[in-house]
Structure 1
Amino acid sequence: MRYYNIAVPIDKFINFTYVAKEEMNLNEGSVVSVPFKSRTVTGVVIEEAKAYKGAKEVEEKILDLPINLYELVLWVSDYYLCPLGIVYSFILPPFMKRIKGVEEYQIIGKFLNLSTPQEKSYLRIKKAVEEDFHETFLLFGVTGSGKTEVYLRVMEDVLKKGKSVLYLVPEISIIPQVLERVRGRFGMGEAYHYKLSKGMRYSYWMNIYNGELKIGIGSRMSIFSPFHDLGLIIVDEEHSESYKQEEPKPRFSARDVAVMRGAIERIPVILGSATPSLESFYKAKSGEYIFLELPERVKGQEMPDVEIVDPGRNIFSAEMDKAIKETINKKDMPRVILFLNRRGYAPYGKCYKCGWAARCPNCDISLNFHKATNSLLCHHCGYKMDKVINCPKCGKEVTYLGWGTQRIEEEIKTKYKEYNIQRMDTDSISRRHDHERIYNDLKRGEIQILLGTQMVTKGLDLPDIGLVGVISADTAINLPDFRASERTFQLLSQVAGRAGRGGKGKVIIQSNNPNHYAIRFAKEHNYEGFYDKEREFRLSAKYPPFVNLARILIQSKEEEEVIKVALKIKTKLNESKERELFTILGPVPCPIGWIERNYRYHMLLKSEEENLLQMLLKKLYSFRVGGVRISFEIDPVNML
């Protein structure tokens, strides 16, 4: 009999000692079934242990994780402050009995001729592939510059060596298009994301583990795919905040985990974007990443003309109306994309006589009116109630103000009755294959006007989009978040990049703040101008990439308890021996200070020292107060 320390899915930095028979042949990274309290759980062997009299026996060995994946999880646990058992419970599939085999697809794709910048970038990455060397490449290319063709060329070289490829995308809506291109080129490739059934997730995971599947394409959770022979990781649209997981734990960035996995496995990693995150661009400029650039669109296509207009209080400006009519009546590039990053019908309900407003009883925010269900909905906690017609205080009629994608859809369907109009947001995309259906309809030319939230800003590569219209560029620009300007610039640049991929396109951006530098640089397609301006702000205010950042979020039903615990945590931090090496901001109420009937306060920690914040917060991890939830997040992206 041998003894082992095994990580089980509990939220504490402790492992438990179990005993196993010699013939089980357990190793570091062995996945096992073990009894824990009154149930059986899945655990992972961490190390051999000393004999322990009260040790329970391991019930079953399931499999051995690839050693590189085991090492990656150790890093994720340390860096993102998440117990090993919780990390493993997230990355392991639901183990089942049946595995669906890997399908083969018809190869129909052709290699396209590379432009000079594409060829140069491809050959530089190919060198790392041939030498089995780890380098992280930032492939910075304007929208429509052919980044995907560079990816596919490198993938071919990797597959010829008998190795596998992991291709990450930020949104599930992008997967059908990427799958189509990859399968058409290589005859294989499967998707992995949280909307798949348990059986499909298990089949994907085991087919990769068994070496039957050589190409995995997926959202952030796929970064933990159990390849034994990984040769390349691609992170497309690397700037996207969708790569950051907030809930449930682990709170990790798939982009940063990809870079670490590349280092552990000694393989190249490609980060691709037309609007790289400030952190990635800074690392490329400072030499930590290899900088590769695709400065022009393929086949010499011009970037679209961008016009900024002030709509006043109207949903559509005269310029927007005219451009939509002209575009949908053209023979070439007759389709329109309209973007508004706000779902629902109207974001506010108000009584003009007494001032009553429709607000969530659980959160410190307005209820959104959803006309499709004639209900008011909280977009944070999910609270739902019937639409309020008359004010509950004075009886006068309630007015619903502002607009979301449902109201825009109603407006354009009234104006353009004879055209096929499709809305694409989380309310309209609820079933597993909805993304694929919309993409296929777009490809066949059956949708004339596509309206959506940020789902439409990423990855759609269609040649006949003649117009992109941004209904409001101001929805995020004034949020109390140091990344607000970067987020706005990226969204505008990305959605504008959908236009004119088959000729000269046009973009109209409606804004009441046209002189803001994020909007101005987006109009000029000038990423480096934006980067220089934003870099100055981050440097002076001491924000990433110039410091490391962590966030402590404290929540409770009782505000006094939140304040008391927050101050106690701050006192503990102030007593640290390393106090001069970090800065504390707060505690203060969060911008949204009340969600699901919980008061919310937060603190930000800043330090230029590597791993110092993790060391400080790990000492606080076991600190518990009844009725109070304390969360630690490394490299947070959401300050609300």
Structure 2
Amino acid sequence: MATVSYIKVIVPLRLEWEPLYSYEYDGISSFPLAEGTRVTVPVASRTYVAVVSCADAGEEALKVGLDRIRPILGIAQGLEPVTMQEIALWRRVASYYLCTVGEVYKAAYPVSKVTQEETRARVTALRKSRLEKEKARLESELEKLRMRLSAKETALSRARKDSVKVSLDEARGRLLAKIGSHEEELSRVLSALSRPDEGGEELNRLSPVLSELSEAQMKALNEVRELMSSGKPVLLHGVTGSGKTEIYLRLAAECLRSGRSVLYLVPEIALSRQLEERVRAAIGPSLLVFHSAESQLSRYETAEAMRGGSYLVLGTRSAIFLPHRNLGLIVIDEEHDTSYKQDSPAPRYNARETAVMLGMVHSSRIILGSATPSLESLYNCKVGRFGYVSLKQRYFGALPSDVEVIDTIAERRKRGMVGLFSRKLISLIGDCLARKRQVLLLRERRSFAPAVQCCECGEIVRCRRCNVPLSLHHRADGTAKLVCHYCGRVYEYAGTCSSCGGTLIPLGSGTQKVEEEASALFPGARIARLDGDTAKDRKYATEVIRGFSKGDIDILIGTQIVAKGFDFSGLELVAVIGADSILGQEDYRADEKSLQLLEQLRGRCGRRSQKGLFVIQTSQPSHPVYRTLEGEMNHEEMADGLLGERKLFGYPPYSRVVGIIVKDSNARRADLMAAELVSALRCSGMTSAIKLVGPYSPSVDKVSGQNIRCARILLPKDRDLTANKEVILQTVNNFEKERKYLGHISLDVDPV
């Protein structure tokens, strides 16, 4: 007799509740669905693959009314169930980042991934069906062959004539050979049937080739182990070139040997590509790679391979949501990096904080590492939430690179500038190249020029759908184009103003212009560029990184991509072209971010026994960030000073920030709704110690035809924090429903 079970499911939609469905089973050949099972359910007029979050929701079903509950369409055949650890992580992320569990599920299992799973399941089922038919055919033919063999052997035993015996014996031999061939084929079919189609196979065992650790590294490693045993995340504050990666790999090897798995997070795909070879040499075939530049099939196969033995996944922030099993260690390299933050869509999570949540779910050890730790992590160390280990000695004993700040205003006055390069920097680069050493040049902006302006009417050419100047890009064939770096639209460049017909001239400079001028100044040098444009080509980016590592490239020009964790043994000189653009950010974190970027860059050079030189071209040579780099102020003093400022003004890490973003194609409606929403939040019943700023228009107030208005709420870190966040979420949800304004408002917790 059929029995009905009532279940709650997580649907990949922005739903504030988990819908109820009924599931019918016969009680003998079937059973109530387990939590984590994936089922297909109808929502409105569409079908979705949902996850069972509660397998026994009968009491809730009675409250809702059984007549209002729809049946599921079926169990999603061939799809692996979601683990309880995954669901637990989704709930934590949704609660912290003020989104729904469905939105987190959608990020973890996007449509493309589910489609790939379904396709593979169908292929597996078809393959199994064909193998079963082949098995039946072979068994039938073998039975017939064995009957014929038995008849031949009976005839052979009764034969009298030698000629008949020979003929029968030859026929018997042919039958035996055919039977042997069929048995071998059947054995292969049976083996294929018993083996999973993809994944699930034990990954090859670890065969590490680990470098010897220095005395300082061993001391730091032992301190990390001791602190980890207390269950705390550990911050490893190691200067650039101190060998933090080797400590990570030692910990990873120990974890893999114990039979548990490792997640190794890096902020950028380009960094993952260089690190991949290094990790593979140390860890062996247990390494899996996961990031957005991998093909969909490759990412699916990585997730499938994780069902096997212990593994090490090297990936960017999206690797957080892989179906981790038996996770023993999480490494968060370059933990300060803002690339760990997801801007859009929801969940707008930071992989650093989310990795700590993941570690709690799996009871994993956690290590965060950086040469320039974030103030949030340093604060967590001060209050005892994190353990702290310092590693101040470079692995090869090299001294920190010298820092030289060049005042570009003073240089221009005495005609010491040649385009973007000071004569002093030109001389330093020339000397470096003469000694067969390498040079790295950073320009924060890609393109040839970040804007173009009419020399007649003064108009700056802007994107038609975004309120931003268009950037000038030169093509390889000598033509040019204008590109919007926000919506990606491309406009052909005629060189004349569409308003008055005047000549357009480039404003400012980007990496393309730096490359052009460097090629003219150093015609014999081998020059390459690595930025957001060139890094899109995985093959090119990999070749550039490998070529620079091997010394096949003399000068590498790039954006912030080149500052993040690379290890180039032949690099002696690093220079920043136009450093003022790094400092000139409208952000209370501007000084912190600038110091982190510049210190990371400084650490790229002189990483072996050779001492390096770090050159900064700027019009603000007396800025505190530069004074810190030059040694006039140490990093601890700078960090303490910045933390003091944050505390005085109530900024993180002494508070929690919730950003509110309103987007609308109609500018007047965006202004009105943003103002009314802020008014509703002021009257929402949050505690009085709240700072609410806005609404205001950000510096880029229109992107892809959507007008943007913002507000920002600072919540004190007290016992009311969670309740205040819930009030904000509920107020926004109610506002959207009452004003019929769904899809226009988003919340961003801990914006960067």
SS of the equivalent of 2:513 reads helix
CA distance in 2, matches of 1:134, 1:55: 45
Q: 1:201 aligns with which of 284, 299, 316?
A: 299
| Paired residues of 1:172 and 1:435 also in contact (CA < 8 A) | no
- Displacement after TM superposition at 1:195 (Å): 1.8
The aligned residue for residue 409 of structure 1 is 515
The aligned residue for residue 29 of structure 1 is 36
The aligned residue for residue 649 of structure 2 is 541
Q: State the AA in 1 paired with 2:104.
A: V
- Displacement after TM superposition at 1:384 (Å): 1.9
CA distance in 2, matches of 1:541, 1:520: 24
Q: Does residue 1:466 correspond to 2:565, yes or no? A: no
1:461-488 Cα shifts (integer Å, max 9, x gaps): 1211011011121113122211111111
Q: Does residue 1:510 correspond to 2:621, yes or no? A: no
List aligned pairs for 1:263-412, cutoff 5 A. 263-312=360-409, 314-331=419-436, 334-372=437-475, 374-412=480-518
| Paired residues of 1:135 and 1:267 also in contact (CA < 8 A) | no
The aligned residue for residue 530 of structure 2 is 424
Q: State the AA in 2 paired with 1:559.
A: A
Q: State the AA in 2 paired with 1:55.
A: R
Q: State the AA in 2 paired with 1:68.
A: Q
- Displacement after TM superposition at 1:155 (Å): 1.2
> Counting helix residues as a fraction of each chain, which structure ranks higher?
2
The aligned residue for residue 73 of structure 1 is 90
1:528-571 Cα shifts (integer Å, max 9, x gaps): 23212211221222110111100001121222211221122122
Q: State the AA in 1 paired with 2:298.
A: M
The aligned residue for residue 559 of structure 2 is 453
Q: Does residue 1:49 correspond to 2:57, yes or no? A: yes
| Paired residues of 1:179 and 1:190 also in contact (CA < 8 A) | no
CA distance in 1, matches of 2:310, 2:259: 11
CA distance in 1, matches of 2:223, 2:35: 36
Q: State the AA in 2 paired with 1:307.
A: E
**Identity of matched residues, %:** 33
The aligned residue for residue 589 of structure 1 is 697
Q: State the AA in 1 paired with 2:72.
A: E
Q: State the AA in 2 paired with 1:159.
A: L
- Displacement after TM superposition at 1:256 (Å): 0.2
Q: Does residue 1:614 correspond to 2:725, yes or no? A: yes
Q: Which moved more, 1:235-244 or 1:154-163?
A: 154-163
Q: 2:322 aligns with which of 206, 212, 225?
A: 225
Q: Which runs of 5+ in 1 are unaligned?
A: none
The aligned residue for residue 7 of structure 2 is 4
| Paired residues of 1:405 and 1:453 also in contact (CA < 8 A) | yes
CA distance in 2, matches of 1:122, 1:291: 12
CA distance in 1, matches of 2:214, 2:551: 27
CA distance in 2, matches of 1:375, 1:216: 39
| Distance 1:481-1:14 versus aligned 2 partners, 3 A rule | same
- Displacement after TM superposition at 1:107 (Å): 5.3
- Displacement after TM superposition at 1:253 (Å): 0.5
- Displacement after TM superposition at 1:582 (Å): 1.5
- Displacement after TM superposition at 1:379 (Å): 0.8
- Displacement after TM superposition at 1:499 (Å): 0.4
CA distance in 1, matches of 2:203, 2:549: 23
Structure with higher RCO (Cα < 8 A, 6+ apart): 1
List aligned pairs for 1:627-638, cutoff 5 A. 629-637=744-752
Q: Does residue 1:18 correspond to 2:21, yes or no? A: yes
Q: CA RMSD in A?
A: 2.1
CA distance in 2, matches of 1:106, 1:618: 47
SS of the equivalent of 1:33 reads strand
| Distance 1:245-1:416 versus aligned 2 partners, 3 A rule | same
Question: Between Structure 1 and Structure 2, whose CA radius of gyration is higher?
Answer: 2
CA distance in 1, matches of 2:231, 2:344: 31
The aligned residue for residue 572 of structure 1 is 680
| Paired residues of 1:173 and 1:455 also in contact (CA < 8 A) | yes
1:315-338 Cα shifts (integer Å, max 9, x gaps): 01112111111111114xx11111
1:377-415 Cα shifts (integer Å, max 9, x gaps): 111122221114122333332211211001111111222
CA distance in 1, matches of 2:96, 2:21: 27
Q: Which moved more, 1:198-207 or 1:425-434?
A: 425-434
CA distance in 1, matches of 2:24, 2:332: 42
The aligned residue for residue 241 of structure 1 is 338
TM-score by length of 2: 0.80
SS of the equivalent of 1:605 reads strand
Q: Which moved more, 1:626-635 or 1:178-187?
A: 626-635
CA distance in 2, matches of 1:327, 1:27: 66
CA distance in 1, matches of 2:384, 2:327: 25
CA distance in 1, matches of 2:88, 2:208: 39
Q: 1:191 aligns with which of 289, 310, 313?
A: 289
| Distance 1:120-1:486 versus aligned 2 partners, 3 A rule | same
Q: 1:124 aligns with which of 212, 223, 242?
A: 223
CA distance in 1, matches of 2:722, 2:586: 27
| Paired residues of 2:227 and 2:387 also in contact (CA < 8 A) | no
| Distance 1:583-1:111 versus aligned 2 partners, 3 A rule | same
TM-score by length of 1: 0.94
CA distance in 2, matches of 1:579, 1:571: 15
| Paired residues of 1:561 and 1:628 also in contact (CA < 8 A) | no
- Displacement after TM superposition at 1:152 (Å): 1.1
| Paired residues of 1:468 and 1:508 also in contact (CA < 8 A) | yes
List aligned pairs for 1:111-150, cutoff 5 A. 111-116=211-216, 118-127=217-226, 131=229, 134-150=231-247
SS of the equivalent of 2:536 reads coil
CA distance in 2, matches of 1:489, 1:6: 47
Q: Which moved more, 1:65-74 or 1:245-254?
A: 65-74
Q: State the AA in 2 paired with 1:35.
A: P
SS of the equivalent of 1:531 reads helix
| Distance 1:128-1:24 versus aligned 2 partners, 3 A rule | farther
| Distance 1:25-1:426 versus aligned 2 partners, 3 A rule | farther
| Paired residues of 1:573 and 1:579 also in contact (CA < 8 A) | no
Q: State the AA in 2 paired with 1:356.
A: E
- Displacement after TM superposition at 1:495 (Å): 1.1
Q: State the AA in 2 paired with 1:370.
A: H
Q: Which moved more, 1:597-606 or 1:100-109?
A: 100-109
CA distance in 2, matches of 1:63, 1:111: 39
| Distance 1:393-1:227 versus aligned 2 partners, 3 A rule | closer
Q: 1:60 aligns with which of 66, 69, 75?
A: 75
Aligned length, in residue pairs: 631
Q: Does residue 1:162 correspond to 2:170, yes or no? A: no
CA distance in 2, matches of 1:380, 1:551: 20
| Paired residues of 1:461 and 1:501 also in contact (CA < 8 A) | yes
CA distance in 1, matches of 2:531, 2:681: 42
- Displacement after TM superposition at 1:266 (Å): 1.9
| Distance 1:371-1:105 versus aligned 2 partners, 3 A rule | farther
SS of the equivalent of 1:590 reads coil
SS of the equivalent of 1:299 reads coil
The aligned residue for residue 109 of structure 1 is 209
- Displacement after TM superposition at 1:157 (Å): 1.5
CA distance in 2, matches of 1:44, 1:223: 19
